[in-house]
Structure 1
């Protein structure tokens, strides 16, 4: 009888050890998967937020050039299809904004992205060079505010 009891205790110990090992491995695997998901989301956010800021600043640059060209204040000619490029850059900025909307946790970040795009849209309404520079600076300030807020989300 003693041998059977010893065997039974050994089997129970083995089963208990296997069950505990399984539970701990599942927890570890779950944490590893969560970490990988979080890191992938962080990388996607960094990519999307930086792409948005870059696209808005390129769009801003093109808007400034178009304004100067239309008023004859540019010393170098723009390519014939500069308005097509202007539309392409606006489209690129809007697509980048949609990525921000998909990935942002904070609604405030989407608001800041919209404010950045609105500031660029105001550039063509400038009445003179002083107002043009104000619109350009306002756009840059709004993009910087967006980047500061976005940085807090990806840290």
Structure 2
């Protein structure tokens, strides 16, 4: 009977060891999976946020060029279909904003993205070169605010 009890304790110990091993491996795998998911999201956010800032600044540059051209301030001609390029860059900036909206955790980040695009849209309303520079600087400031907030979110 003593041998049977020893065998029973050995089997119970083996089963308990296997169950504990399974439990801890499952927890470790879950943590690793969560870490990988969080890291993918972080990388996607970094990509989307930097793409948005880049798109807004390119759109800003084009808006400034168009304003300067229309007001006779440029010495070199713009390519013929500059309105097409202006529209393409605006579309690119809007698509980048949509990605920000999908990925941002903080509502403030979406607000800053919207403010950045609004600031670019104000450029063509400038009445003179001084106002143009103010709008251009305001856009750059809004993008910097966006980048600061985005950097805080992805850290």
TM-score over 0.5 (shorter chain) = yes
Structure 2, unaligned runs of 5 or more: none
1:9-88 to 2 correspondences below 5 Å: 9-88=9-88
- Deviation of 1:72 after TM superposition, in Å, equals 1.2
- The CA RMSD over aligned residues, in Å, is 0.3
TM normalised by structure 1 equals 1.00
Q: How many residues of Structure 1 are paired with residues of Structure 2 in the alignment?
A: 155
Name 2:109's counterpart in structure 1.
Answer: 109
Runs of 4+ in 1 over 2 A off after TM superposition: none
1:88-99 to 2 correspondences below 5 Å: 88-99=88-99
Name 1:136's counterpart in structure 2.
Answer: 136
Residue aligned with 1:67, SS:
helix
Q: Cα deviations across residues 31-57 of structure 1 (Å, max 9, x unaligned)?
A: 000000000000000000000000000
- Deviation of 1:153 after TM superposition, in Å, equals 0.2
1:119-130 to 2 correspondences below 5 Å: 119-130=119-130
Q: Cα deviations across residues 9-28 of structure 1 (Å, max 9, x unaligned)?
A: 00000000000000000100
What CA distance in whole angstroms lies between the structure 2 residues aligned with 1:98 and 1:149?
17
Name 1:145's counterpart in structure 2.
Answer: 145
Name 1:118's counterpart in structure 2.
Answer: 118
TM normalised by structure 2 equals 1.00
